């Protein structure tokens, strides 16, 4: 395994006739594509809970955190992990744009599952004041808004972890249809693992699991929101539509950026004459 267990190593050098250790920092990637392939092969066909238990209990992925939106289906992954270790860090991006129902649901679910390590990440206040003072960037530059409120805060937090567990599932959208259980996070050169335990679960599997374990539902699901993000960019979805089609409706955008690079045009200036009220 090429995880960061190697840490700092010493090399002997001579200084004025004496030998002293010289600290060198190992800057190589925590994991490589070969590691991801090996883990996918190792757990091929294995039950989701068994796979997660082995990964966490045997420290196969180093220091791990869950990234959770506390959305429509988040309870399933959180319940699975809570059965193994309730102290695994759960990273929640508080964008200041969430539905009030999401914040209430987050707190209810944390208490219900007995999770003990909720980590709330917030945007940099100075950058927010500089680039989104009016709080309306979502209305003309959703990529830039996500970059400030989600991508950068998470990027900063992930420096402390070797791997993240996500709740992505193949049925949610075409961009997620071919994802493996284990992959390399290519957002930087750190070589973190991304673990997608539920990638092969179907919508009916999620529903059945929630019913079997009597898990609390996000209140907005019953109102027609099968995928829930920030309130300005989340809309209701008609029966039979892609579950994520209500996200960023009207924009050529399907991800917030924490799982894929954002539009390179992010941080563009408001269009001339822009009026968010129109």
Distance CA 154, CA 215 (A): 27
Q: Is 256 a catalytic residue?
A: yes
Nearest CA to 186 among 253, 260, 257? 260
If you write DSSP's letter for every residue of 220-252 in order, what string do you get?
A: TGGGT-SS--BGGGB----TTS-TTTTBTTTSS
**Residues in Cβ contact with 186 at an 8 Å cutoff, skipping those fewer than 6 apart:** none
H or E stretch covering 42: helix 33-42
- Phi then psi for residue 215, to 5 deg, are -85, 140
Q: How far is CA 120 from CA 45, 79, 95, in A?
A: 34, 19, 10
Lookup result for tokens 């954002």: 262
Structure-derived torsion over alpha carbons of residues 38, 41, 44, 46, reported in degrees to the nearest 10: -50
Selected catalytic residue, list 146, 230, 233, 256:
256
Pairwise CA distance, residues 121 & 181, whole Å: 25
Active-site residue numbers? Answer: 256
């Amino acid at each position: 395994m090429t995880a960061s267990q190697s840490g700092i190593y010493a090399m002997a050098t001579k200084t004025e006739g004496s030998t002293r250790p010289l600290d060198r920092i190992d800057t190589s990637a925590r994991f490589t594509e070969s590691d991801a392939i090996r883990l996918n092969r190792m757990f091929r066909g294995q039950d989701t809970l068994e796979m997660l238990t082995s990964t966490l209990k045997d420290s196969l992925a180093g220091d791990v955190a869950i990234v959770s939106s506390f959305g429509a289906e988040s309870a399933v992954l959180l319940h699975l992990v809570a059965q193994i270790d309730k102290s695994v860090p759960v990273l929640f991006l508080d964008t200041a744009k969430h539905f009030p129902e999401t914040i209430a649901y987050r707190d209810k679910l944390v208490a219900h599952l007995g999770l003990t390590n909720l980590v709330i990440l917030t945007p940099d206040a100075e950058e927010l004041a500089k680039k989104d003072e009016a709080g309306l960037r979502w209305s003309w530059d959703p990529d830039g808004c996500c970059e400030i409120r989600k991508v950068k805060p998470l990027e900063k937090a992930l420096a402390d972890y070797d791997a993240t567990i996500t709740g992505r599932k193949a049925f949610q959208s075409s961009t997620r249809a071919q994802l493996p259980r284990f992959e390399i996070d290519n957002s930087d050169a750190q070589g973190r693992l991304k673990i997608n335990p539920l990638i092969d679960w179907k919508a009916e599997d999620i529903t059945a699991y929630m019913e079997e374990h009597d898990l609390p539902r996000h209140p907005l699901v019953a109102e027609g929101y099968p995928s829930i993000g920030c309130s300005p960019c989340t809309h209701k979805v008609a029966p039979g539509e892609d579950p994520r089609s209500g996200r960023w409706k009207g924009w050529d955008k399907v991800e917030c950026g924490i799982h894929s690079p954002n539009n390179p045009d992010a941080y563009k200036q408001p269009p001339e004459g822009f009026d968010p009220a129109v």
